[in-house]
């Protein structure tokens, strides 16, 4: 509960090692007196959320995050792959991740946790999403649920729980805000570190892991776009740390990730705190932007009509796109129409009357240079 009594669910999404930014998120929330009523976590967000629910201090969380090394998570399953080839369950052994998770969480069950936690996972055989920590799904070890939530298919073997074999909840929903919305809360603070609209180059030449990681970013982004396109309630503060440049499997940016999670959350809270508490619904922080179409670049394909908000774009007599005439109020997820333009003919800039102020939780609406 926050200092003003606004009860909220904190949703921590997956994104590989980029999820260490969640530790910075928790510091920013704690410094401002924002205590979640429940944390809903997926993948590394489940691990960070589980440590929080076990009452790790912020300093302890930061120490664990900064000490994490590649060998603590990844060890190629050479013997398994040599013996079983394509029938091997994963390219990495499960033991290092198991030791990491169990070392942090022990054998605690959800019933033992002093704080509320929900962990997302997916049954690899049925496609059913299971959210451990909900009623009827509490009498299991938190470490097992977190391992399952981190088990990206192909990278780590599925985890058996209750005669089901479970993998990363990102297969269904990398940022499980819908589950958070029904937890008897006034609102949601959601932190997305997994999706990205950043343009990249030469991914096809970068190997299996890079291709899978980039594929995951694209899938996560489209799922988030669809999930939030018509979001009404409860009000949501969407925090988007600027971590797109960090590879999902990189171990060279720990301090930067913690700092960016803190920065993005602090900025979002500073701008949106009063608005979110008064609002009945919607996604925050809001900002005013001016949208323009470069007629020289426009080829008249109509992608903006398909992907933009209804009525925002139209085609003129020359077959060129025409954007809105005045400033538009955008949430952090409103700008995907820019990315969907195949010739990058659409741009958006802060409206003149709003220029000079930061955008709080960040925005991924503007297409960026290949990375």
> What's the CA gap between 362 and 303, in Å, rounded?
24
Identify which of 96, 108, 169 has the alpha carbon closest to the alpha carbon of residue 141: 108
What lies within 8 Å, CB to CB, of 351 at 6+ separation is: 288, 289, 290, 327
Taken in order 77, 80, 84, 88, the sign of the CA dihedral is: negative
Q: Which helix (H) or strand (E) segment is 238 a member of?
A: strand 236-239
* Marked catalytic residue, from 168, 173, 192, 336: 168
DSSP bridge pairs for 287: 330
Judge whether 168 counts as a catalytic residue.
yes
Gap between the Cα atoms of 259 and 268, Å rounded: 14
**Three-state SS letters, 288-303:** EEEEEECCCCCCCCCH
Q: Which of 43, 54, 196, 331 is catalytic?
A: 43
* Residue 356 CB contacts under 8 Å (≥ 6 apart), including other chains: 350
Strand partners, 76: 92
Instruction: Give me the torsion for CA of 251, 21, 337, 180, rounded to 10°.
Output: 130
φ/ψ (deg, to 5) at 353 = -75, -15
Element (H, E) at 322: strand 321-322
Q: Quick check: is 363 catalytic?
A: no
Rounded to whole angstroms, what are the CA distances from 291 to 338, 352, 359? 10, 12, 16
Helix 21-31 × helix 44-53 angle, to 10°: 40
| Cα–Cα distance measured from residue 228 to residue 232, given in angstroms and rounded to the nearest whole number | 9
| Cβ-contact 176, 119 below 8 angstroms | no
Give DSSP secondary structure letters for 158-180.
-EEETTEEEEEGGGT-SS-HHHH
Q: List the catalytic residues.
A: 43, 168
């Amino acid at each position: 509960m926050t200092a003003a009594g606004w009860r909220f669910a904190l949703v921590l999404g997956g994104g590989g090692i980029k999820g260490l930014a969640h530790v910075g998120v928790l510091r920013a929330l704690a410094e401002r007196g924002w205590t979640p009523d429940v944390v809903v976590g997926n993948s590394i967000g489940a691990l960070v959320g589980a440590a929080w629910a076990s009452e790790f201090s912020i300093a302890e969380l930061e120490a664990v995050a900064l000490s994490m090394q590649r060998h603590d998570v990844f060890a190629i399953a050479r013997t398994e792959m040599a013996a079983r080839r394509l029938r091997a369950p994963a390219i990495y052994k499960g033991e290092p991740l198991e030791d990491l998770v169990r070392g942090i969480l022990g054998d605690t069950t959800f019933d033992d946790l002093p704080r509320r936690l929900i962990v997302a996972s997916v049954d690899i055989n049925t496609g059913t999403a299971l959210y451990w920590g909900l009623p009827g799904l509490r009498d299991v070890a938190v470490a097992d649920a977190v391992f399952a939530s981190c088990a990206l298919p192909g990278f780590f073997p599925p985890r058996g729980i209750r005669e089901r074999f479970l993998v990363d909840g990102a297969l269904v929903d990398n940022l499980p805000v819908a589950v958070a919305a029904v937890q008897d809360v006034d609102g949601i603070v959601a932190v997305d570190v997994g999706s990205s609209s950043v343009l990249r180059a030469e991914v096809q030449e970068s190997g299996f892991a890079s291709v899978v990681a980039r594929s995951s970013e694209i899938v996560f982004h489209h799922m988030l776009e669809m999930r939030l396109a018509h979001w009404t309630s409860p009000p949501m503060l969407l925090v988007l740390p600027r971590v797109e440049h960090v590879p999902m499997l990189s171990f060279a940016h720990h301090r930067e990730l913690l700092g960016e999670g803190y920065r993005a959350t602090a900025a979002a809270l500073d701008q949106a705190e009063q608005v979110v508490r008064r609002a009945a619904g919607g996604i925050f922080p809001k900002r005013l932007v001016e949208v323009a179409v470069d007629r020289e670049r426009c080829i008249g394909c109509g992608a903006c009509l398909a992907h933009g908000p209804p009525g925002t774009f139209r085609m003129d007599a020359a077959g060129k796109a025409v954007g809105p005439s005045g400033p538009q109020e955008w949430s952090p997820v409103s700008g995907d129409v820019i990315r969907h333009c195949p010739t990058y003919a659409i741009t958006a800039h802060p409206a003149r009357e709003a220029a000079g102020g930061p955008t709080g939780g960040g925005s991924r609406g503007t297409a960026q240079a290949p990375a």
